[in-house]
A and B are shown apart, each in its own frame.
Chain A
């Protein structure tokens, strides 16, 4: 069976100095599955997400992305860090969408979308431009390709950022609170693009505060607090009838 588009984690631990932020995390995401992670700020949910594409490294545990040990190769005695080139290759298969969009302000929307294929994969510029045009159209932004990020609204910028990640043809997309920095009326347009992506069978891990989105779109849901996974299961079950006291307390506050 193909392991493309899967995430497998066992006993992941991570600390910043003396502060433990991830404590014994297990995670399984199947190909085409949408997994949402919710929890209070500082619960470690963003850190977990950032580990999956190497923006953070885990201290210990098993982390396999697309079936491969991520960032390391395994020998009988240890995990050895991969070369920068190999790590970069693994990263191109995992798209990341940030809370603050992080578009390159010195490039137009189209150049942003083209940046990965052209600069990293060395694709032909003309073909990449055509592909970028199509991707921008698919996120509802045809005709905006020539604009610089500063000329676009937050919702538009985030959609360009999604298109930029998709341009690398990743098997997995990670979203780190993709709508938290948006004006309320712009949230819907970004969520719509994400729903569309889920429907097309993209494997997605989404850190979010949008409970409606989590209920509607996600196959599985994780509730994290203080570095632990407190509760996990079917999204509707966890959100509808949480079993753990901490989950109940959190949901009472946000719903």
Chain B
């Protein structure tokens, strides 16, 4: 003792009793759950394995992916339109967008989905045309509003309201001075939007959109109530026949988990990249070539 040079002694951090308690408790609970999961025969892990790559499950997964991608893409486009409308100086346009956003964010998406599925009860014939004239066409609502269409419409319209708020938040993060600078150069409204506002709003919009995408992937499970054979419904169709409810729910859950984990890596990369970009430098090094054009006066 006392042989270690006082200047070289390590500095140990404080370990409180609650830290030890936390370790012990977490490990005990963990072991308990693991033992139960592995030994409870009702989990039927064999059946989970049997159905994990079953054709109808994979087809359901494909439909889930399709619904996610399609409703996110359409919802983002519509959300962009709503955000632009919301920022309009024309009051009725802005109010209309505001009402849409309030309505679709203020009611549960499950209710909205069932609503769209039953829309033909409200409008048996959809007539597109100019009011109080004969111009336009009518279509049979029952014919077009099948389960998948209703699912797509419901998810898209709901997502558009959320995307509109995200995009509007991105727009409002762009400083007033930027808009004044663009105005003083004589830029038109659409030019200002494309060259000044949108590029600067992207760093806050893109990571939030990634989160919405992951959320939407799980949200699509709601459309199972319409009888759309997406991932959850595909599992349900099997266990309705075989009564192997729990194993099939586990199959669906594992697929949702796998996809979410796969998506969360690019999502975290997006977040990292854009949090850097806002603080300092964009990443387009190739544009350096513009600095000294041929024929420039030296």
Contacts and interface: CB of A to CB of B under 8 A. Distances in A.
Do these two chains really belong together in a complex?
yes
Contacts of A104: 178, 181-182, 195-196, 200
Interface string B278-298: 001110000110111101110
Contacts of A164: 185
6 contacts: A55-B184, A91-B186, A106-B196, A111-B290, A116-B186, A120-B188
Interface string B166-183: 000000000101101111
Given A119-B191, A133-B297, A148-B282, A91 B290 contact: no
Nearest to B198: A106
B199 interface: yes
Given A103-B181, A133-B293, A92 B281 contact: no
Nearest to A137: B297
A98 B282 CA distance: 23
B280 A134 contact: no
A111 B280 CA distance: 17
Interface in A30-61: 53-55
B195 A115 contact: yes
Contacts of A94: 184
Count class of interface residues, chain A: 35 or more
Interface residues of B, number: 30
Interface of A: 53-55, 84-85, 88-89, 91-92, 94-96, 98, 100, 102-106, 108, 110-111, 115-116, 119-120, 126, 129-130, 133-134, 137, 143, 145-146, 148, 150-151, 161, 164-165, 168
Task: Return the 6 tightest CB-CB contacts between A and B, nearest first.
Answer: A102-B181, A88-B186, A96-B184, A102-B177, A92-B186, A146-B291
Label chain A's interface by main secondary structure. helix
Given A110-B291, A130-B295, A133-B292, 16 more contacts: A53-B184, A85-B188, A88-B188, A89-B186, A91-B186, A92-B186, A95-B184, A108-B291, A119-B185, A126-B293, A130-B293, A130-B296, A137-B297, A143-B291, A145-B290, A164-B185
Given A106-B282, A151-B281, A119 B297 contact: no
B5 to A, nearest CB: 46
Contacts of A110: 290-291
